[in-house]
Structure 1
């Protein structure tokens, strides 16, 4: 069984530790802890890993957030992965920092990466893992907030939250969406 696990973010050193790159950070942490690495390919950084009899295919789109759907669709087709085996990992300003929320489907909720994936795939019927980044920003300052870096206090806590998100991804692939939701939604 094959799965496509998509971390959303923006490429480039200036975005590396920004809140909007939480999806990239989750996949990078999972890769570092399990001995696989990403390489640059068409439309994305990609990695493959076998885990408990499952073939996991990871992508970090290089199309920038607002065009993430191009890479998702391309690798779903290339790897012949059905939409029910797709999980998109993204930041969420509507969740407190470090909180996780997995859902089997849903609206983009104002997230441009999810919006583009919905448009390209023609459906909202795919799983997503939302990583809370909080919403401590003044009115009209949302873009600055999501493109800003985590403060030191949150950076200190970030590894444990990234680890939990990685565990949620593996649960999705091995136990299914419902069990993963029961174990990891807070």
Structure 2
């Protein structure tokens, strides 16, 4: 069993914001793998499909970013998904726009969605793909920045990062994560 979670905020208002990059990856995986996101439960929307003998779950928490753990923990408990089979995709201010970084575990690094996951899972030992959105420009607050849209000149980099993150997530279905890290870390 594998659970791939993309972090973001529900609603059209947040659709193309920096904070919703995790949702973009889940949308792409949904389309590519033919996993319909048609189940509304666990404070989110999810889909499930068997691929090569493996049950694959895709989840978009609808709790809003800062409460992501309230969606992830219940689905893991209900389907008895072990922590080592969780992969979380989210935005990261500490990476340049479009850069991706795969990690096997780590701290929240100031990310409230990850803080919520760590609190609800009682562990920071879960796999993640961080997608760089860069730091806010001088004078702009972090909340305003992560809820802003990408600039025109950043769109190609973000599209590339979403593509790579989706490809890495898909590869993880039947490849050890360490190998996926070695291939996709830039």
Instruction: Pick the TM interval, shorter chain.
Output: over 0.9
Task: Give the corresponding residue for 2:95.
Answer: 95
Distance 2:113 2:44 in 1: 14
The alpha carbon displacement at 1:99 in A equals 1.0
Structure 2, gaps ≥5 residues long = none
For the aligned residue pairs, the C-alpha RMSD in angstroms reads 1.4
The alpha carbon displacement at 1:119 in A equals 0.6
1:112-127 matches, cutoff 5 A:
112-127=112-127
Deviations for 1:131-185, whole angstroms, at most 9, x for unmatched residues?
1112242255211111100112222443332111111112222111100110111
The alpha carbon displacement at 1:18 in A equals 0.1
Is 1:143 the counterpart of 2:143? The answer is: yes
Distance 1:120 1:45 in 2: 19
Deviations for 1:94-139, whole angstroms, at most 9, x for unmatched residues?
1111111111110000000000110111111111110111224225
Task: Give the corresponding residue for 1:38.
Answer: 37
Count how many residue pairs are aligned between Structure 1 and Structure 2: 185
Task: Give the corresponding residue for 2:27.
Answer: 28
Task: Give the corresponding residue for 2:129.
Answer: 129
Distance 1:173 1:36 in 2: 14
The alpha carbon displacement at 1:52 in A equals 2.7
Distance 1:185 1:139 in 2: 31
**8 Å contact 1:171–1:179 — kept in the other structure?**
no
**8 Å contact 2:92–2:132 — kept in the other structure?**
yes
The alpha carbon displacement at 1:63 in A equals 0.6
Distance 2:136 2:114 in 1: 22
3-state SS, counterpart of residue 173 of structure 2: helix
Structure 1, gaps ≥5 residues long = none
Task: Give the corresponding residue for 1:53.
Answer: 53
Deviations for 1:41-74, whole angstroms, at most 9, x for unmatched residues?
1211101123232211011001111110011110
User: Normalized against structure 2, the TM-score is what?
Assistant: 0.94
**8 Å contact 1:30–1:163 — kept in the other structure?**
no
User: Normalized against structure 1, the TM-score is what?
Assistant: 0.94
Distance 2:138 2:86 in 1: 34
The alpha carbon displacement at 1:34 in A equals 3.0
**8 Å contact 1:98–1:161 — kept in the other structure?**
yes
